[in-house]
Amino acid sequence: MISRTLTILIFLTFAVFAQTETHRWGEKKADYKIPEVSERNYLIDDSSVMMSLVSGFQYAYYFLISDYDGDNCPFTPTCSNFFVQSVKRTNIFQGALMFADRFTRDLNFIERDKYPRSQDGRLIDLPQNYELKERGIVILPKHIDKEKK
Amino acid sequence: MRFYRFFFLLLILAAVVRGQSKAVNPLFSVPNRVKFASHLYKTGDYIRAFDEYRALLTGTPDDTLRLAAGLALRNLGRFDEAEDYLQGLFFFSRLKDYAKTEFLKTEFIRGNYSGFVNLSGESFYSPDTFSVGIKRLKYFTYLILQETEITDSAEFVSGFAESQRRVISKFYSVKKRPERKDELLAAVLSAVIPGAGKIYTEDYSDGIVAFIFSGLFYGLAAHNFAVAKNAKGALFAGIGLFFHAGSVYGSATSAQIYNAQKRFEFESKLIEYAEKEKYFLPDTEKLFIK
């Protein structure tokens, strides 16, 4: 009786877990893209006192708001990263003004077609376009993903 | 014995006469390979066309093939290599004038406009045969270069062919009076009414959102001040002021982005037109790649 049960069990195991031909030989879509590492680094930027403060604010924002809210910012770079990059590229006052403007634009859900889109569908909005340096403005083709089609 | 000798000679003769020769495979003859390379070039397969030209050049040094190889490289965006090939024809070649002209054209195509203007001013790079075309392209480049002050309309346009004057005249007008938004005005407008500057720069929805957002916090502040909740009022006023300041700053940047976008569109149109007109110079591809 035991041996019969064992045989049936083994047979069933093979039947259920066996690799199917279709699975083995079926079409597979290869993705050679290097996965984007989006892990957050919570180290404080110690390049200057101001940057330490700014990165401190950023991590507090991650910890208290962003982590609970989820990955919902439609822009790339995200608003918090935009703020940090803006301060790095300019100074705390200009960076704060750039962030205030970006935050207001983030609330505009009516017209988002004016921004070019990245491969993952996010709206590309680079801080260098808002530094009040006309020569530094980067004009990207709109809808990179659509153009590829 | 004599018969065998005769038979042996006959065999050798047959082998010599009928034997397959390596040299006479017509498929790989030079004219056929040139035709093939031209076909590849015309179908836009510049990589393989260049490979063919390069292979041909190792066995048969030929100025036309060298010129074609340079053009194929230019179409591939390999400008430095293309210019190397063209420079090889600058001296003692019957195609030296074409090579110099194509060299100048390459400078224009790669976006080195100031370099093109400087070189085109040198008599070495500007052969008499094509001086009219080069002068036209030089004038046309003035439309792209931002810093350049261009001459008066009549003089400028008269340098071009009759059929081109209407379009050139339009470009000239845009260059002289570009469609720009004033950054300071945009900022001032937003300082008076939050978001008004963005409406001026045609960022309508952003302007409306900025107005609502700042207005909301100002409204909350006013309400709290009215009911003597001064701390709350000050907090909301501060937040409102912060976003209002962002709107003033954002309006100035919005005007800049508007101007940059317009300039980009204008330059794109200019380049498109130059391509259509074959850069005002003889169509070397048509002449030499047959």
B71 vs B289: CA distance, rounded Å: 10
For tokens 């002021």, the residue is B241
Residue B149 in this model has a pLDDT that exceeds 80 = no
Q: Which helix (H) or strand (E) holds B144?
A: helix B131-144
**Average of pLDDT values for B25-32?**
82
Cis geometry, peptide bond prior to residue A35 (ω within 30 degrees of 0): no
Could you tell me if B169 and B251 are in contact, meaning their C-beta atoms sit under 8 angstroms apart? no
Are A100 and B243 inside 8 Å of each other by CB? yes
In a domain, A45, yes or no: no
Q: How many domains does chain A have?
A: 1
pTM here is 0.73
**Average of pLDDT values for A3-30?**
75
In a domain, A82, yes or no: yes
Which fold would CATH assign to domain B30-145?
1.25.40
Are A137 and B245 inside 8 Å of each other by CB? no
CA-nearest of B268, B207, B76 to A141 is B268
Q: Which residues of B116-143 are buried (b: 16+ CB within 10 A; e: fewer)?
A: bbebbeeeebbbeebeebbebbbbbbbb
In a domain, A144, yes or no: yes
Q: How many CA atoms lie within 13 A of B280 on its CB side?
A: 26
Are A108 and B260 inside 8 Å of each other by CB? no
CA-nearest of B241, B118, B256 to B187 is B256
Please give the pLDDT value at position A147: 43
Question: Who contacts B271 (Cβ-Cβ below 8 Å, separation ≥6)?
Answer: B144
CA distance A103 to chain B (A): 9
Are A100 and B206 inside 8 Å of each other by CB? no
CA-nearest of B244, B242, B255 to B192 is B244
State the CB neighbour count (10 A cutoff) for residue A112: 14
CA-nearest of A92, A88, A73 to A128 is A88
What range defines the domain where residue A113 resides? 70-148
Q: Which helix (H) or strand (E) holds B66?
A: helix B63-75
Residues of B in contact with A136 (CB under 8 A): none
Mark out chain B residues that contact chain A at CB-CB < 8 A. 183, 203-206, 209-210, 213, 242-243, 245-247, 249-250, 252-253, 256-257, 259-261, 264
Are B205 and A137 inside 8 Å of each other by CB? no
CA-nearest of B247, B262, B248 to B181 is B262
Q: Worst-scoring range by mean pLDDT, A59-68, B99-108, B173-182, B267-276?
A: A59-68
**pLDDT tens digits, A78-95:** 888 898 899 989 988 999
B43 vs A120: CA distance, rounded Å: 34
**pLDDT tens digits, A37-67:** 456 667 777 777 878 888 888 888 877 777 7
**pLDDT tens digits, A102-149:** 999 988 888 888 888 888 888 999 999 999 888 888 887 664 444 443
Nearest CA in chain A to B208: A108
Length of chain A as a residue count: 149
- The single-letter DSSP state of residue B162 is G
Residues of B in contact with A130 (CB under 8 A): 249-250, 253
A101 vs B245: CA distance, rounded Å: 8
B200 vs B168: CA distance, rounded Å: 30
For tokens 């940057």, the residue is A51
Of B220 and B5, more confident: B220
